[in-house]
């Protein structure tokens, strides 16, 4: 398991290569990348500031990954989340999951993102033409995390 | 009973404080009681930490709730619902 919280950008190919190296048992890798959009709630976004709770962030992400590994048999998991100042089109988050087959890789990848969205202590602040504003949590994110509890 | 209380994002801006050390009587033994104490400051504190507000709480870097017990030396964090990813 690799979990990193960093200001620097990341490269998908190098991360996947590092996950796969020396692991011929891996048959499937699913990866998700979240990006900064140039518009949100009807307003142009010039810049995004990602604040976090440093002492808790790593711990919260590791707990989510540990929970994921209890539910699916996985060979490797990699989560990278950026903090600090970001611009439209920048990468924000990478979740990559490796397993024997696609089923668990797809599901575990989505599960990690759904829990990250509701459990990991990050907050986005946007710069728009109207000024600076905090991004509101979406009810749909809470529902997305909730649905995994029904299975 | 000494606690470190941290505030993040909009809550930090509204309350104008990022971190404080609070000394309380040992009777303050849960998150709910700490919140009552903070609301007792009135004004923004009462409004921003009203039970109807959707803020979250963590104790020693784990997600917690109003029923969570507090011990001397705990780190309590108060923040808005998270918006990462």
What are the tokens at A72? Answer: 């699916």
What is the domain count for chain A? 1
Mean pLDDT value across residues B24-40: 95
Structural domain contains residue B55: yes
Structural domain contains residue B85: no
Cα B73 versus chain centre, distance: 14
Closest residue of chain A to B76, computed from CA coordinates? A56
- Domain containing residue A122: CATH number: 3.90.1170.40
Mean pLDDT by 10 residues, chain A (151 residues): 96 98 98 97 95 97 98 98 98 98 98 97 96 93 88 55
What is the domain count for chain B? 1
The answer to whether the pTM exceeds 0.80 is: yes
Q: Which residues contact A136 (CB under 8 A, 6 or more apart)?
A: A41, B83
What is the model's pLDDT at position A151? Answer: 55
Closest residue of chain B to A123, computed from CA coordinates? B83
- Angle formed by the axes of helices A102-119 and A139-146, nearest 10°: 140
In tens, the pLDDT along B39-79 reads 999 999 999 999 999 999 999 999 999 999 999 999 999 99
- Domain containing residue B21: CATH number: 3.10.20.30
What is the model's pLDDT at position A149? Answer: 87
Q: How confident is the model at residue B34 (pLDDT cuts 50, 70, 90)?
A: very high
φ/ψ of A18, rounded to 5, equals -65, -35
Structural domain contains residue B46: yes
Domain region containing B32: 2-79
CA distance A12 to A31: 9
Alpha helices in chain A (DSSP H): 12-20, 54-71, 102-119, 139-146
Asked if ipTM goes beyond 0.90, one says yes
Q: Tell me, yes or no, if A58 comes closer than 8 A to chain B by beta carbon.
A: no
Among residues 2-41 of chain A, which lie with CB inside 8 Å of chain B?
34
Q: Tell me, yes or no, if A56 comes closer than 8 A to chain B by beta carbon.
A: yes
């Amino acid at each position: 398991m690799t979990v990193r919280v960093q200001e620097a950008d990341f490269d998908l190919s190098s991360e996947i290569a590092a996950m796969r190296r020396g692991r011929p048992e891996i048959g499937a890798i699913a990866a998700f990348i979240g990006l900064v959009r140039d518009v949100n709630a009807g307003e142009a976004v010039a810049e995004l500031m990602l604040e976090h709770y440093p002492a808790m962030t790593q711990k919260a992400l590791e707990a989510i990954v540990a929970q994921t590994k209890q539910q699916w048999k996985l060979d490797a998991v990699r989560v990278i989340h950026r903090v600090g100042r970001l611009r439209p089109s920048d990468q924000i988050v990478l979740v990559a999951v490796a397993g024997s087959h696609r089923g668990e890789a797809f599901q575990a990848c989505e599960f990690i993102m759904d829990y990250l969205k509701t459990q990991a202590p990050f907050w986005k602040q946007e710069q728009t033409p109207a000024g600076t504003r905090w991004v509101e949590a979406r009810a749909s994110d809470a529902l997305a995390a909730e649905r995994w509890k029904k299975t | 009973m000494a606690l470190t209380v941290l505030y993040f994002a909009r809550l930090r801006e509204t309350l104008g404080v990022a971190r404080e050390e609070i000394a309380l009587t040992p009777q303050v033994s849960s998150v709910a009681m700490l919140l009552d104490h903070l609301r007792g400051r009135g004004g923004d504190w009462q409004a921003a930490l009203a039970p109807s507000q959707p803020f979250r709480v963590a104790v020693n870097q784990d997600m917690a709730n109003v029923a969570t017990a507090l011990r001397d030396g705990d780190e309590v964090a108060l923040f808005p619902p998270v918006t990462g990813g």
